[in-house]
C-alpha cells in the first residue's frame, strides 16, 4: 500500500514537471520557417540569386562613335613631333551626354514663317512635312531644316562690325520666328569684303562648344546688316546620362602617335594638297567639345570629344600656324556613370 502511494506521488510530480515545461515553451519565440514569401501575390518562389542592378543608364549600354572626318579636306598626312604644355590633371573625368531629336515644322508654323518673312506666296507641299514658298524671297521647310533666301540687293556699303552683325542676326531670328529656345551666343564664322558677305553662326547654349553644324543656325548678311540668307538646322536637345571619360593621358598618347583628326590653318602655298606635313607641334590647351553621333534620322546624340589646341612649326620654317587635334573622349564609346 505504501509502495503504491509512493508511485502515484512520483507520477503526479512528473506530470506537473511536464506541464511546467510545456507552459515555458509557449513563452519562447517561434523561429520562422525557412521559406521565402513572394513579394507579389502569386509570384513564384525561387532559390536563384536576385539579378544584378542595371547600371548601364538610360541612353544605351554603348553609344555610336562620334562624327569626325577620317581625312582632312586638303588630303594631308601628318608626321609630327608633339609636345604638351598644359596640365592634363585639370581635364574633366566625366561629363554629360545629350540626346537630340529632330524638329518637324507643322504647316501652321510654316505659314507663320511665310507671313513673318514677308514672302508673298502660297506654300506648296513637296512631300511629307516638306513645303516651299517663292515670292519676295524663298522659303524651304523640311524636318529639322529650314532655308530662307531674300531678294534684297547687295549694296555697296561697308559690312557691319562683328558685334553689330551678331546683333542684326539675333534680331532677325527673333522677328522672323526662327529663334529657338536654348540658342547660344553667335559668332562670326566668315567675313569677305570682296563678296560683301559676313556669316554669323549660332549653336546651342547647352552644351556649349558644339563643333558640328547640327544643331545650329547660320545667318548671312550683307552691307548695312541686310539679311541675305538664313539656314536653320535645329533639334530638341535633352541632357541625359553622365559618362565616364577615358584618361586624358591615353588621349594624349593617341595625339602623339598622329592618330587623332587634325585640322591645321596652313596656307596652301606652304603645304600643297596631298602632301605630308612634317614639323613640331606644341599643344597648350585641352578642352571638351561636342559633336553628333548616330545615323541621320535615327537615334542621335551630342557626344564629348577632346580638343587639343596648339601651334605647329613646319620643318625648315620659323612661322607657326594654329592646329587642332580631335580625339574621342569616351572609352569604347563608353558606359554611363551610375
Q: Which long-range contacts (CB under 8 A, 24 or more apart) does 122-129 make?
A: 129/104, 129/105
Query: Both 115 and 228 in a single domain?
Result: yes
Q: Both 264 and 212 in a single domain? A: no
Full residue range of the structural domain in which residue 301 is found? 77-99+240-333
In-domain check, residue 145: yes
**Is residue 257 in some structural domain?**
yes
Identify whether residues 113 and 231 lie together within a single domain. Answer: yes
33-42, 310-319, 323-332: segment of lowest average pLDDT = 33-42
Torsion of CA 325, 330, 332, 338, to 10 degrees: 180
Q: Is residue 4 part of a domain?
A: no
The C-alpha cell of 248 is what? 586624358
What backbone torsions phi and psi does residue 217 show, to the nearest 5 degrees? Answer: -135, 135
Cα(97)–Cα(240) distance, integer angstroms: 6
Boundary residue ending a domain (191, 219, 236):
236
Same structural domain, 280 and 177: no
C-alpha atoms less than 13 angstroms from C-alpha of 53 in its C-beta half-sphere: 3
Domain boundary among 216, 236, 256: 236
pLDDT tens digits, one per residue of 283-305: 999 999 999 999 887 889 999 99
- Domains contained in the chain, number: 2
Q: Which of 43-47, 49-53, 190-194 has the highest mean pLDDT?
A: 190-194
Whole-model pTM above 0.95? no
Strands 300-314 and 320-328: antiparallel
Task: Indicate whether 48 belongs to any domain.
Answer: no
Are 95 and 136 in the same domain?
A: no
Residue 47 lies in a domain: no
Q: State pLDDT tens for residues 209-256.
A: 999 889 999 999 999 999 999 999 999 999 988 999 999 999 999 999
Handedness of CA 151, 152, 158, 164 (dihedral sign): negative
Burial status of residue 304 (CB atoms within 10 A of its CB: 0-12, 13-18, 19 or more): buried
Give the residue carrying C-alpha cell 587642332. Answer: 324
CATH code of the domain in which 141 resides = 3.30.310
H-state helical runs in the chain? 2-27, 107-116, 162-176, 248-256
DSSP string, 236-299: EEEEEEEEEBPPHHHHHHHHHTT-SEEEE---TTTS-TTPEEEEEEEEEEEEEEEEEES-TTS-
Distance CA 129, CA 131 (A): 7
Structural domain ending residue among the three candidates 236, 251, 277: 236
Lowest mean pLDDT of 64-68, 120-124, 277-281, name the range. Answer: 64-68
Average pLDDT over residues 170-199: 96
pLDDT per position as a tens digit, 73-104: 899 999 999 999 999 999 999 999 999 998 88
In the structure, what pLDDT confidence band is assigned to residue 48 with cuts at 50, 70 and 90? very low
Tell me: do 185 and 172 sit in the same domain.
Answer: yes
Grid coordinates of 157: 556699303
Q: Is residue 51 part of a domain?
A: no
Answer yes or no: is pLDDT of 54 > 70.
no
Q: Does one domain contain both 191 and 263?
A: no
The total of other beta-carbon atoms located within 10 Å of residue 9's CB is 10
In a domain, 194, yes or no: yes
Amino acid at each position: 500500500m505504501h509502495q503504491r502511494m509512493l508511485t502515484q506521488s512520483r507520477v503526479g510530480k512528473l506530470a506537473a514537471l511536464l506541464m511546467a515545461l510545456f507552459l515555458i515553451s509557449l513563452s519562447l519565440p517561434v523561429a520562422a520557417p525557412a521559406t521565402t514569401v513572394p513579394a507579389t501575390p502569386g509570384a513564384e518562389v525561387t532559390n536563384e540569386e536576385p539579378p544584378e542592378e542595371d547600371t548601364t543608364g538610360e541612353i544605351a549600354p554603348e553609344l555610336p562613335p562620334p562624327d569626325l572626318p577620317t581625312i582632312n579636306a586638303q588630303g594631308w598626312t601628318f608626321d609630327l613631333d608633339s609636345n604638351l604644355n598644359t596640365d592634363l590633371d585639370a581635364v574633366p573625368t566625366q561629363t554629360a551626354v545629350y540626346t537630340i531629336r529632330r524638329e518637324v515644322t507643322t504647316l501652321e508654323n510654316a505659314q507663320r514663317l511665310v507671313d513673318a518673312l514677308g514672302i508673298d506666296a502660297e506654300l506648296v507641299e513637296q512631300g511629307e512635312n516638306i513645303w516651299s514658298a517663292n515670292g519676295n524671297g524663298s522659303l524651304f521647310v523640311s524636318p529639322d531644316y529650314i532655308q530662307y533666301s531674300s531678294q534684297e540687293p547687295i549694296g555697296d556699303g561697308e559690312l557691319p562690325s562683328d558685334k553689330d552683325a551678331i546683333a542684326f542676326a539675333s534680331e532677325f531670328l527673333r522677328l522672323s520666328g526662327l529663334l529657338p529656345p536654348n540658342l547660344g551666343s553667335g559668332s562670326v564664322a566668315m567675313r569677305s569684303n570682296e563678296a560683301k558677305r559676313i556669316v554669323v553662326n549660332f549653336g546651342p547654349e547647352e552644351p556649349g562648344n558644339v563643333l558640328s553644324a547640327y544643331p545650329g543656325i547660320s545667318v548671312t548678311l550683307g552691307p548695312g546688316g541686310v539679311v541675305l540668307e538664313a539656314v536653320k538646322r535645329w533639334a530638341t536637345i535633352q541632357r541625359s546620362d553622365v559618362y565616364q571619360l577615358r584618361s586624358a593621358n591615353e588621349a594624349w598618347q593617341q595625339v602623339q602617335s598622329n592618330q587623332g583628326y587634325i585640322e591645321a590653318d596652313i596656307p596652301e602655298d606652304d603645304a600643297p594638297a596631298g602632301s605630308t606635313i612634317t614639323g613640331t607641334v606644341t599643344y597648350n590647351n585641352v578642352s571638351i567639345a561636342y559633336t553628333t553621333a548616330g545615323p541621320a534620322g535615327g537615334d542621335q546624340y551630342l557626344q564629348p570629344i577632346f580638343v587639343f589646341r596648339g601651334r605647329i612649326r613646319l620643318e625648315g620654317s620659323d612661322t607657326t600656324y594654329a592646329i587642332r587635334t580631335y580625339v574621342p573622349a569616351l572609352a569604347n564609346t563608353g558606359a554611363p556613370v551610375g
